């Protein structure tokens, strides 16, 4: 079964939007969620005639169960290599040499990390909303207390 960047991204966006409650105040816009998700990218799908740098991680478009790290930089061949399925292994691909570095990720994006970061962004959005002005003596007041609870909720959700 062939995988694609679009399919992995769609599934990852759905999970982040759902589990980070992006549509619930404080909301996260689609560009914000997509930016967070991109920060949490772990790998790319292999592409032909593409320049790879040492350290880049790819997964084959036809899964082998492994992911591969670029060990020698250069341009990949036009045709996807026959990926070995033994771990450890290496394969030449045009100017690039790939080495297996473990099992394939279920998704090229680290969804759990993206959810965590999304909750932190939500918490940061609440902080500027805290009204720290008050009249009379005593604590900042009920509003600030409720904002503090909301911030704590976002941080607690990030840790889940």
Output the tens digit of pLDDT for each of the chain's 160 residues.
Answer: 688 999 999 999 999 999 999 999 999 999 999 999 999 999 999 999 999 999 999 999 999 999 999 999 999 999 999 999 988 999 999 999 999 999 999 999 999 999 999 998 998 888 765 555 544 444 444 445 556 677 777 778 777 7
- State whether 16 and 81 are in the same domain: yes
Residues spanned by the domain of 121: 116-159
Asked if residue 19 and residue 76 are part of one domain, the reply reads yes
User: What is the pLDDT at residue 147?
Assistant: 61
Measured CA distances, 73 to 54, 87, 98, 123 (Å): 5, 21, 9, 40
- The pLDDT of residue 137 is 45
**Domain co-membership, 27 together with 89:** yes
Give residue 139's pLDDT.
46
- What is the rounded distance in angstroms from the CA atom of residue 110 to the CA atom of residue 106? 9
Residues 11 and 71 both lie in one domain: yes
Residues 69 and 96 grouped into a single domain = yes
Q: How many domains does the chain have?
A: 2
Contact yes or no for 72/91 (Cβ under 8 A): no
> What pLDDT, on a 0 to 100 scale, did the predictor assign at position 145?
56
Structure confidence at residue 132 (pLDDT): 52
Domain annotation covers residue 78: yes
Q: Are residues 73 and 152 in the same domain?
A: no
Residues 54 and 93 in one domain: yes
Judge whether 96 lies within some domain: yes
Same domain, 72 and 145: no
50: phi then psi, degrees, rounded to nearest 5: -120, 145
Q: How many residues does the chain have?
A: 160
Q: Quote the Cα angle for 66-40-94, to 5°.
A: 45
């Amino acid at each position: 079964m062939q995988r694609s960047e679009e399919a992995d991204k769609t599934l990852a966006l759905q999970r982040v939007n759902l589990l980070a409650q992006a549509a619930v105040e404080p909301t996260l816009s689609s560009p914000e969620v997509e930016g967070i998700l991109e920060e949490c990218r772990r790998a790319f799908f292999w592409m032909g005639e593409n320049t790879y740098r040492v350290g880049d991680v790819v997964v084959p478009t036809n899964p082998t169960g492994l992911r591969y790290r670029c060990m020698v930089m250069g341009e990949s061949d036009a045709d996807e290599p026959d990926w070995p399925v033994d771990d450890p292994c290496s394969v030449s691909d045009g100017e690039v040499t790939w080495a297996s570095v473990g099992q394939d990720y279920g998704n090229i994006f680290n969804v759990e990390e993206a959810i965590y970061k999304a909750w932190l962004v939500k918490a940061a959005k609440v902080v500027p909303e805290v009204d720290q002005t008050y009249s009379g003596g005593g604590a900042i007041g009920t509003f600030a207390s409720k904002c503090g609870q909301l911030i704590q909720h976002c941080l607690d959700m990030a840790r889940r």
